């Protein structure tokens, strides 16, 4: 387990991405965490705040093959996975690869496609394979979906089903920049986006190796139990009609390992878990009608759940007690 390299690479990826993206350090670090965990990312925000630009810049810095799909209502599943086409010259069917055959797939405005097309990504996201005419075809490694979606209230959008939302390791919103950040952005970018200034600091092979290595980060029984108590509490909250599934607890467990490695540590602390609870779990929850009518938000409900669960001592607390 090379936590030193994970920490170094996460800093390099952040540095390269911030040549293009201004004032979103915390959000970019979370996306880098997801990449190093081999997890998928959903960016939900209004048009024009930099979602696609961020993903493209990070993809360049990762040194991985990158493809983009613009999701529209008439997009078909075969437009994503590919299909077999008859070659009249040799009399055989040949595979025409879809854009899913890549390392990093930008699924732009994913909720503009019809549900049938959205579901075409489910197998790829979960199994890292696609099935074409009954044949399962492995995808390149690593395979990551970095998706953007418009707010569900927007016109011509189709909400992602819960099963697909559950496949995303994290969901984030970038939000509007502050006046100071927007002024800096204009000074750095001007009227063009200088993607040519971003350089690759790793490659697909190293990412695969590091994704495997972070499994060696230690999680104490107390911290693992803390994760389980949080996810289990979401299943019994009267304000939620759907809590986090076991996939959610596994996602939080895995993400916390990477978050710890990005700090150069070989062990997870309760603080690591708390840093990640909202981006990892919030999109897996569904409010009850009563909670929605009362004006509560999913974020507030999750905050209340966390506040009611005692965290185990951190390593520093144990040392101080000693």
Instruction: Report pLDDT for 105.
Output: 94
Domains along the sequence of the chain with CATH: 1-72+103-129+140-215 (3.40.50.300), 217-317 (1.10.8.80)
146: tokens are 């970095």
- Residue 41 φ/ψ, nearest 5 degrees: -125, 140
**Kind of pairing, strands 135-138 and 129-132?**
antiparallel
- Rounded CA-CA distance 244/301 in Å is 13
Q: Residue 67: beta bridge partners?
A: 105
Over residues 226-237, mean pLDDT: 97
Where is pLDDT greater, at 120 or 228? 228
- Rounded CA-CA distance 249/219 in Å is 13
Q: At a CB cut-off of 8 Å and minimum separation 6, what does 196 contact?
A: none
Instruction: Report pLDDT for 153.
Output: 55
Instruction: Report pLDDT for 43.
Output: 92
Q: For 8-20, write each residue's pLDDT tens digit.
A: 999 999 999 999 9
Q: Residue 87: beta bridge partners?
A: 92
CA 17 to chain centre: 16
**Kind of pairing, strands 129-132 and 286-287?**
unpaired
**Are the CB atoms for 110 and 6 separated by under 8 Å?**
no
Instruction: Report pLDDT for 8.
Output: 97
Cite the DSSP H helix spans in the chain.
3-17, 25-36, 51-62, 78-81, 115-118, 120-127, 162-165, 179-189, 204-213, 221-236, 246-262, 270-281, 289-293, 298-307, 315-321
Cβ neighbours, 10 Å, residue 167: 19
Instruction: Report pLDDT for 319.
Output: 39
**Are the CB atoms for 100 and 124 separated by under 8 Å?**
yes
Position 274 pLDDT exceeds 90: yes
Residue 197, by phi and psi: left (phi above 0), alpha (psi -120 to 50) or beta? alpha
Q: For 174-207, write each residue's pLDDT tens digit.
A: 888 889 988 988 887 777 888 999 999 999 999 9
Lowest mean pLDDT among 23-27, 83-87, 154-158, 231-235: 154-158
- Rounded CA-CA distance 3/7 in Å is 6
131: tokens are 């099935």
- Rounded CA-CA distance 57/37 in Å is 19
* pTM of the shown model: 0.91
Position 161 pLDDT exceeds 60: yes
91: tokens are 């009399």
């Amino acid at each position: 387990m090379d936590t030193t390299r994970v920490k170094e690479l996460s800093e390099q990826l952040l540095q390269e991405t911030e040549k293009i993206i201004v004032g979103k350090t915390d959000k970019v670090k979370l996306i880098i965490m997801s990449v190093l965990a081999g997890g998928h990312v959903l960016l939900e925000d209004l048009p024009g705040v930099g979602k696609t630009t961020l993903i493209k810049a990070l993809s360049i810095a990762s040194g991985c093959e990158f493809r983009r799909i613009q999701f529209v209502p008439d997009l078909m599943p075969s437009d994503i996975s590919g299909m077999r086409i008859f070659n009249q010259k040799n009399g055989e069917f040949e595979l025409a690869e879809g854009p899913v055959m890549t390392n990093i797939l930008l699924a732009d405005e994913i909720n503009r496609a019809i549900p049938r097309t959205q579901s075409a990504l489910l197998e790829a996201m979960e199994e890292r394979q696609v099935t074409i005419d009954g044949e399962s075809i492995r995808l390149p490694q690593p395979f990551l979906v970095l998706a953007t979606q418009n707010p569900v209230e927007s016109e011509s959008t189709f909400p992602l089903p819960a099963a697909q939302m559950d496949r995303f390791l994290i969901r984030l919103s970038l939000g509007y920049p502050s006046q100071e950040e927007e002024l800096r952005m204009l000074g750095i970018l001007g009227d063009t986006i200088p993607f040519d200034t971003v350089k690759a600091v790793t490659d697909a092979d190293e990412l695969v190796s590091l994704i495997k290595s972070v499994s060696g980060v230690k999680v104490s029984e107390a911290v693992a139990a803390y994760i389980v108590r949080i996810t289990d509490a979401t299943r019994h909250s009267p304000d939620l009609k759907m809590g986090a599934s076991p996939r959610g607890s596994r996602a939080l467990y895995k993400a916390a390992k990477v978050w710890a490695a990005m700090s150069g540590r070989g062990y997870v602390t309760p603080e690591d878990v708390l840093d990640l609870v909202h981006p990892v779990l919030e999109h897996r929850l569904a409010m009850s009608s009563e909670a929605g009518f009362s004006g509560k938000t999913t974020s507030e409900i999750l905050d209340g759940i966390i506040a009611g669960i005692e965290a185990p001592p951190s390593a520093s607390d144990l040392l101080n007690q000693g």
